[in-house]
Chain A
Amino acid sequence: MSNALSRLGRRKFLSGAAAIAATSSISFLGLQRWLGDRATAATRLTDVIPFLGLHQPGITTPDVAAALVVALDVTARSRAELDQLFKTLTQRIEYLMSGGTLPPLDAKYPPSGSGILGDRFPADHLTVTVSVGASLFDERYGLESLRPAHLKQMPKFPNDRLDPDFCHGDLLLQFCANHNETNIHALRDIIKQLSGLVVLRWQIAGFQQPDSDPHPHRTTVRNLLGFKDGTANPNPHNTKEMNQLVWVQPKQNEPAWAVGGTYHVVRVVRMFVEFWDRTALDEQEEIIGRSRVTGAPLGYKHEEDMPNYGKDPNGKTIRLDAHIRLANPRTPATEASRILRKGFHYSRGIDKAGQLDMGLLFIAFQQDVERGFETIQNRLNGEPLEEYIKPIGGGYFFTLPGVQKKNEYLAQSLLQSADSINRS
């Protein structure tokens, strides 16, 4: 095989690219700053994301700077308490997402909210997205026969080292807003209102500089490995594409209540950033398959360029096991496995080895978790990037369909289906 040779050749190419990058880095940073300012102007404290809709908010909603993912276990003692849980949850989310004023109470009572955003709290682009885990469909609430067809406990993939205290859950709440405080304000409100009905299982906060590039196949977002991430994401504003890839449709062998929902995958992927930062640039780029500076696929000029793998069958330009090539081989056969990604960074201290504990809070939505994330992950198994990353937590969930009318509530279609089954 000529792999070693081709690598040598590419090294030469890469060193050239690095030199170009060095000379253009100032203007690039300048551009990024300009785009960053534009993004700040675009998302304001007063921004209200509508709660009602065919689908829940927080999926195709434009990305924001702060995320908080919280897994809960449900401790409701009965079906009646489970109904109460979803009704209360729906009311609180609607209230929190629209911004408002904390009702004043007699000072001898605990205040009606945490007050961390003041008595008048802004909407701040908040979305709270509610998903259910496979464990909610066990014998406790009579929902066994209504489990979405592909919903199961997230399996362990070969490179995973899953911490059991950081996986799965009956419920998942995904908070996204312009500011961390907004997410925490919402979480504290919800936890207080749901006391007795849920307990916290795990949580993780994420952050990112939202994508400010209007071009659909370009992004300003980089992961903590320094590479552009999400370039090849499907377009969330393309309804047709979303209906093909993300939203569960009628007649897909799913329970009727699940139509309009989507499979929600969360993966906490630790990155060994010190090791990565000690890795030569050409190796980094080979592992990913893109230029670090421009984001262009190796051998191409622009980030949005579509790599033609047909012309590179042996991986001379982009290695066969490069991350981007495995993740999205760009063949008609692999089109259906595409997923809608929402990535955030996390950083949470120092591990036992004295290294930085940071990485990717990977979030993905898809119509079918097996056809989507699992297919992609199975292609990625064994990729060279695995030396630098370690998935440690997360889970598979199903995002409930949206609430379409005032006074309806999340999971209503699921719970009512259960009632009609139990009656018959």
Chain B
Amino acid sequence: MNSKTKIWVGVGAYLLTSAVPTVEISRPSSTNDTLQVSAKLMPNAIAQTPDPCRKGLGGEGGEGGEGGEGGGDDAYLTPTLNPAVQAAELEQAVTAYKAYVVKEVDRLLVDAKVFTDRVIAGDVAGAKAVYGSSRLGWERIEPIAESFAEFDGVIDLRVDDFKGEDDPEFTGFHRIEMGLFKYNTTKGYEPFAKKLMQDLQGLKTCVAALEIEPRDMVRGASELIEEVAQGKITGEEDRYSRMDFWSFKANVEGSEKIVELIRPMIMRINPALLRQIDQDFAAVNQMLAKYSLPEGGFMTYDKLTPTDKRRLQADLARLAESLSKLRGVIGV
């Protein structure tokens, strides 16, 4: 039963800690139609990764039978909830988070469709105008989205992860971003636009079947901020369009959403930590507001001054420290 798929969100980041058990999986080939299409474009990739909903390195794919709740290898991971947390309220938060993730993926498909249609129609200016907004859904649920190795590799990787700009494996948002903003063209990028939509559709299918563990949700709050502190802050993400602030903001919103869902629990257990978290979110948002435009959206990332960048680095570091305590606070 596919719906019993279980994930460890963003386990790639935890590879070195060995705290997360690695499970070797081998799974019979999927029969998912969408991915059959994408297989034609990337025959090698698909041949090596039979399961389209496979999790990233160190993660657990496979069917629900493996391990399962509290069983086998990961017994030590069995949640020992903080006594101040009701299992039911946590479950409710996870359900709400799942609904949020699904909604964001739906939104991603709608926004990306507008974007890719313009690329296919050869509308360079039109495509440029919606590039920043087309990715927001992805960035808000990035730890979930990235956890599917198959999709992260084709949707959101940067040129640095490939042999070069012409590497046919370099696909997704940033390949098209390069065409639009570096070469000012959509010509030749139509197949990438089509493939992006197919891959996003595949992502949607996997997300629909996904069961989110409480621990993965809680960890997601800090992972989104680590994502910003380590990557977005450098301006490496949207290097051609300089629309990094869009992704930056979406990551922050995704993290804030998780905190919002477990807020009453944190408040009960460690109100001082919650105050610090709120203060740092407010500081980061205040800085983002400084670089926002009255008509919506943001200035280009090169406008960020060195002083403001240091401020952001400091606030993000403290925020990441605070959020890293949430698993301990809730007891998941």
Contact = CB atoms under 8 A, between A and B. Distances in A.
B93 to A, nearest CB: 17
The 3 closest A-B pairs by CB, nearest first: A196-B318, A109-B328, A75-B314
A196 B324 contact: no
Contact of B314 (A105, A192, A196): A196
Contact of A196 (B280, B325, B331, B332): B280
Interface string B276-298: 00001000000000000000000
A106 B310 CA distance: 32
B321 interface: yes
A109 B325 contact: yes
Interface residues of A, number: 13
25 contacts: A73-B310, A75-B310, A75-B313, A75-B314, A75-B315, A105-B328, A106-B328, A108-B327, A108-B328, A108-B332, A109-B324, A109-B327, A110-B328, A192-B321, A195-B314, A195-B318, A195-B320, A195-B321, A196-B315, A196-B317, A196-B321, A197-B314, A198-B314, A199-B310, A199-B314
Given A196-B280, A198-B314, 16 more contacts: A75-B310, A75-B315, A105-B328, A108-B328, A108-B331, A110-B324, A110-B325, A110-B328, A195-B314, A195-B321, A196-B314, A196-B321, A197-B318, A199-B310, A199-B314, A199-B317
Interface of B: 280, 310-311, 313-315, 317-318, 320-321, 324-325, 327-328, 331-332
Nearest to B315: A196
Contacts of A198: 314
Contacts of A195: 314, 317-318, 320-321
A199 B313 contact: yes
B77 to A, nearest CB: 10
A108 B325 CA distance: 8
A31 B40 CA distance: 71
Interface string A102-136: 00011011100000000000000000000000000
Nearest to B309: A199
Contacts of A197: 314, 318
A192 B314 CA distance: 11
A198 B331 CA distance: 30
A52 to B, nearest CB: 29
A271 to B, nearest CB: 30
A199 B308 CA distance: 12
A106 B324 CA distance: 13
Contacts of B320: 195
A105 B280 CA distance: 24
Contacts of B311: 75
Nearest to B318: A196
A195 B325 CA distance: 14
Interface string A254-276: 00000000000000000000000
B232 to A, nearest CB: 16
Contacts of B310: 73, 75, 199
Nearest to B331: A108
Instruction: Indicate the member of A106, A192, A195, A198 with the most B CB atoms within 10 Å.
Output: A195
